Structures are given as structure tokens and as C-alpha cells.
């Protein structure tokens, strides 16, 4: 069994030296437990925060122990009722080839209903984040104008498509390359821009000349500042992530225009997907329908090999992914 440990805490941008590949015995299950041979691991931006030794909504990763995170795999041994070898399960012990866990902490999924990777992406945590953030947290209504940042990523690409399906009048996305911008147009975004091409504020004004009602923030910083500037009275922002500052050692310089929140009566609302589990059933039903009839497409970027999981994570932070970044074990 090979697994990835956190060898040291990154200062600023993480590097390969912060991770260590460790070989251990394949575990055997005790009563109530299962052993899962992981097939796909999720790497996610929130993991960067857990590499710091600070108190947050999730505890820090311990040093010299395997990292964890979303994974799907096949049960290879079971001492638990209701879960049998051959079952496919979704669980939280990624970053390793074999996971030993209580069966209660795993969810059996149907690999014939969707590709198993979908449970880590479009039908999983990032899909629910997009759905709950846009519809519940920001309360997007038909006819509204929506802007989403990191729009070619896993959450962002779904936000834009859900907005369109729910009747948004205009959907605008920003991303980090010309190829990503092209992909956003193909996904049905009305306008998209590469945030490297000029100040975000100017690019957004050109892409949304009548302003925006809803901003789905994945980036923070100058993107949030530009969105505040573009927001119409009573606009709402779902504050989902601020990836532009996860590796910063200093506090961000933007947004500098927060006072506009008053006059425009804006709502900026942070959220955690974990609080929106009550929407899961409705989300899975609706998203499954959209996938079946082809109205939602999703991208995945797959890196091969557990030994390359750190590189996949670093690549995610650098924007090397289109859609969900995954590791095939
Ligand atoms: P993505 O698939 O969107 O991958 C991250 C993307 O962020 C990269 O592809 C990159 O794309 C972009 N990015 C990186 N650095 C910058 C930067 N400095 N400025 C602008 N864009 C940047 O990841 P997810 O879909 O998993 O997550 C998206 C966001 O949602 C993250 O902020 C994450 O923390 C947050 N999140 C929050 C949850 C919650 O419960 N609140 C749950 C899940 C995710 P590019 O090439 O365009 O730069």
C-alpha cells in the first residue's frame, strides 16, 4: 500500500518536498470495517488550508501521516453488514491506494448509473457546491445576470451551466487561459474572458455592460473587487472560495471598494457545502436529468498514479486543470 504523507508544512506555494510517498502493509478490516482499493482520488483547493497549522472549519492535516480527501474505490474486504467485496464506495480516505475505514463512513454508489468519477465531480461535492451556492446561497432568479470566477474549474463550470438552465439573462465567466475561455463559450456562457488579459474590473465591465446581479466567488481579491464594482443594487455574492490568496503570506490588497456594499445594499454571503446536505437529493435528481438529456457537460483532468498526487494538487493550484482534477490510482 502506497500513500502520500504531509512531510512538512508549506510556506506560501507548496512544493514536492512538502510531500512524501510512504509504503505500508495493506490493512485488514476489523469488525464493522471495510478495506477499499481506491480507484480515483480527489485533490481540492481546500486541502491547501489544511496544510497550515491553523484553526479553521476543518482541523489541520497532521505531519507524517497520510493526507485525506474524497475518493472512490472498490471494496476488497469487508467485516461489515450491508457492504460486500465488489461494491463501489465513496469515502473520505483518499491519498492512498488502500483505505481502511468504518463501513458507516462510506457510501455505496452505483457504478452503472454514472462513471465512478462523477461521484467526485459533477454528482459529488463540487456539483453540490455549485448548485447550493448559486440557487440557495445567492438565490439566483430567472432573468438575472451572473458572473462566476474560476469558471473553467469543477465548481465554476457547473455554476455557469446551472445558471443558464435556471434562466439567467446573462452568464459571464473568467478563467486563466484562452483555451479555457473557448471552452466556456462552448459550454454556453454568454461571455468569458482571460483574467490575464487586463484588469478584471475592465474585462468584467466589457463582458457585462449592464452589470451583474449575482457573483459566485471562487477567487477573491481583484475578482471580488471587480464584482462589487459591477454589482447592481441588491446584488448578492455567494462567497465560495478565494483561491487567489491560499498561498499568500500577506493579507490581500483587494477588495478596496467594500464600502460600495452599503449604498448598493449588497449581500456577500459565505457558505460551506457541508451545511447544504439537505439539498443533495434534489440536486442529484436534477443534475442526473441534465446529464441524461445532454444539457450539462463536465470536464475532468486525470493524472495517473498515486505517486503523482502531489503534482496533481500543485497543478490544480496553478490552473492546469479543466474541470475536476482527479488522480487515477
Ligand atoms: P477548480 O477546479 O476551480 O480549480 C481551481 C482553479 O482555480 C484552477 O483551475 C485555476 O484556474 C483557478 N485559480 C488558481 N489560482 C487563481 C488565481 N490566482 N486567480 C484566479 N483563478 C485562479 O477547483 P474547485 O472547483 O474544486 O474549487 C473552486 C473554488 O471553490 C475554490 O476556491 C475552492 O476553495 C472553493 N470551494 C468551496 C467549497 C465550499 O464549501 N465553500 C466547496 C468546494 C470548493 P485558472 O486557470 O482559471 O486560473
Question: Does 307 lie in the same domain as 247?
Answer: no
Tell me, yes or no, whether 196 lies in a domain: yes
Q: In this predicted model, what pLDDT tens digit does every residue of 8-63 receive, in sequence order?
A: 999 999 999 999 999 999 999 999 999 999 999 999 999 999 999 999 999 999 99
| 290 assigned to some structural domain | no
User: What pLDDT is recorded for position 97?
Assistant: 98
CA separation for the pair 131, 60 (Å, rounded): 27
Ligand 1 centre from 179 Cα, in Å?
Answer: 17
**Do both 222 and 96 map to the same domain?**
no
Q: How high is the pLDDT of residue 155?
A: 99
- Under the banding of pLDDT at 50, 70 and 90, the label for residue 290 is very high
Mean pLDDT of 60-86: 98
Containing structural domain, residue 229: 125-274
- Residue 81: which pLDDT band, with cuts at 50, 70 and 90? very high
CA of 108 to the centre of ligand 1 (A): 28
Q: Is the ipTM of this complex over 0.85?
A: yes
Report the percentage of the chain scoring pLDDT > 90: 100
Task: Give the CATH number for residue 319.
Answer: 3.90.180.10
Q: Tell me, yes or no, whether 75 and 158 share the same domain.
A: no
Task: Say what the pLDDT of residue 139 is.
Answer: 98
Query: 261-289: per-residue pLDDT in tens?
Result: 999 999 999 999 999 999 999 999 999 99
Of 320, 298, 315, 306, which Cα lies nearest the Cα of 48?
Answer: 315
Residues 180, 245 share a domain:
yes
User: Number of folded domains in the chain?
Assistant: 2
Whether 45 maps to a domain, the answer reads: yes
Q: Kindly report, residue by residue over 85-124, the tens digit of the pLDDT.
A: 999 999 999 999 999 999 999 999 999 999 999 999 999 9
Q: How far is the CA of 219 from the centre of ligand 1 (A)?
A: 6
Of all protein residues, whose CA lies closest to atom 34 belonging to ligand 1?
241
Whether residue 247 sits in one domain with residue 322: no
For the segment 81-87, the average pLDDT, to the nearest whole number, is 97
- The answer to the question of residue 265 being in a domain is yes
Distance 243 CA to ligand 1 centre (A): 5
- For residues 177 and 137, membership in a common domain is answered with yes
Cell numbers placing 17: 518536498
Atom of ligand 1 nearest to the CA of 242: 32
Task: For ligand 1, pick from 220, 269, 313, 319 the residue to mutate: most ligand atoms within 8 Å of CB.
Answer: 319
- What are the tens digits of pLDDT across the range 226-235? 999 999 999 9
Domain of 267: which CATH number?
3.40.50.720
Confidence of residue 249 (pLDDT cuts 50, 70, 90): very high
pLDDT in tens, 296-315: 999 999 999 999 999 999 99
pLDDT tens readout for residues 194-235? 999 999 999 999 999 999 999 999 999 999 999 999 999 999
138 assigned to some structural domain: yes
d(CA 272, CA 275): 6
For ligand 1, the distance from its centroid to the CA atom of residue 250, given in whole angstroms, is 19
Q: Is the pTM of this model over 0.95?
A: yes
Q: In DSSP terms, which residues pair with 291 in a beta bridge?
A: none
Return the ligand 1 atom nearest residue 325 CA. 2
Instruction: Give 113 Cα–ligand 1 centroid separation in angstroms.
Output: 27
pLDDT in the model for residue 252? 95
250: exposed, middle or buried (Cβ count in 10 Å: 0-12, 13-18, 19+): exposed
* 141 and 110 in a common domain: no
154 and 92 both lie in a single domain: no
Terminal Cα distance for the chain, rounded: 11
281 lies in a domain?
no
Q: Which of 42, 150, 195, 274 to mutate to test the pocket of ligand 1 (most atoms within 8 A of CB)?
A: 150
CA proximity to 71, closest of 22, 45, 32, 105: 105
In a domain, 157, yes or no: yes
Domain membership flag for residue 287: no
Closest-CA residue to 146 (of 207, 92, 206): 207
d(CA 309, CA 326): 8
Q: Whose CA is nearest to atom 27 of ligand 1?
A: 155
Residues 257 and 155 in one domain: yes
* 42 and 147 belong to one structural domain: no
Residue 264 and residue 130 share a domain: yes
Residues with CB under 6 A from ligand 1: 44-46, 126, 129, 150, 152-156, 175-177, 180, 195, 218-219, 240-241, 243-244, 271-273, 316-317, 319, 321
CA of 173 to the centre of ligand 1 (A): 13
Q: Are residues 135 and 116 in the same domain?
A: no
113-164: pLDDT as tens digits: 999 999 999 999 999 999 999 999 999 999 999 999 999 999 999 999 999 9
How many whole angstroms from 92 Cα to the centroid of ligand 1? Answer: 20
Amino acid at each position: 500500500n502506497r500513500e502520500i504523507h504531509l512531510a512538512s508544512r508549506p510556506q506560501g506555494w507548496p512544493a514536492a518536498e512538502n510531500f512524501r510517498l510512504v509504503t505500508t502493509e495493506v490493512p485488514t478490516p476489523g469488525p464493522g470495517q471495510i478495506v477499499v482499493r481506491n480507484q480515483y482520488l480527489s485533490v481540492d483547493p481546500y486541502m491547501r488550508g489544511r496544510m497550515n497549522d491553523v484553526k479553521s472549519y476543518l482541523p489541520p492535516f497532521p505531519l507524517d501521516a497520510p493526507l485525506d480527501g474524497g475518493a472512490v474505490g472498490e471494496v476488497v474486504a469487508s467485516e461489515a453488514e450491508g457492504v460486500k467485496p465488489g461494491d463501489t464506495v465513496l469515502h473520505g480516505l483518499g491519498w492512498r491506494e488502500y483505505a481502511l475505514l468504518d463501513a458507516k463512513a462510506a457510501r455505496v454508489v452505483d457504478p452503472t448509473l454514472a462513471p465512478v468519477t462523477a461521484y467526485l465531480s459533477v454528482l459529488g461535492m463540487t456539483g453540490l457546491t455549485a448548485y447550493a451556492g448559486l440557487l440557495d446561497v445567492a438565490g439566483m432568479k430567472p432573468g438575472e445576470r451572473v458572473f462566476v470566477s474560476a469558471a473553467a474549474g469543477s465548481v465554476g463550470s457547473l455554476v455557469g451551466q446551472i445558471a443558464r438552465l435556471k434562466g439567467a439573462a446573462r452568464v459571464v465567466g473568467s478563467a486563466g487561459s484562452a483555451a479555457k475561455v473557448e471552452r466556456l463559450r462552448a459550454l454556453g456562457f454568454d461571455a468569458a474572458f482571460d483574467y490575464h488579459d487586463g484588469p478584471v474590473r475592465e474585462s468584467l465591465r466589457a463582458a457585462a455592460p449592464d452589470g451583474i446581479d449575482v457573483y459566485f466567488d471562487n477567487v477573491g481579491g481583484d475578482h471580488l473587487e471587480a464584482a462589487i464594482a459591477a454589482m447592481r443594487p441588491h446584488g448578492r455574492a455567494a462567497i465560495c472560495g478565494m483561491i487567489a490568496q491560499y498561498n499568500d503570506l500577506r493579507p490581500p490588497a483587494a477588495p478596496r471598494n467594500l464600502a460600495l456594499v452599503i449604498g448598493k445594499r449588497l449581500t456577500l454571503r459565505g457558505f460551506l457545502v457541508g451545511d447544504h446536505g439537505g439539498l443533495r437529493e434534489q440536486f442529484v435528481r436534477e443534475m442526473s436529468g441534465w446529464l441524461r438529456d445532454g444539457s450539462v457537460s463536465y470536464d475532468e483532468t486525470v493524472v495517473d498514479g498515486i505517486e503523482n498526487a502531489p503534482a496533481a494538487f500543485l497543478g490544480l493550484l496553478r490552473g492546469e486543470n479543466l474541470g475536476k482534477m482527479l488522480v487515477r490510482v
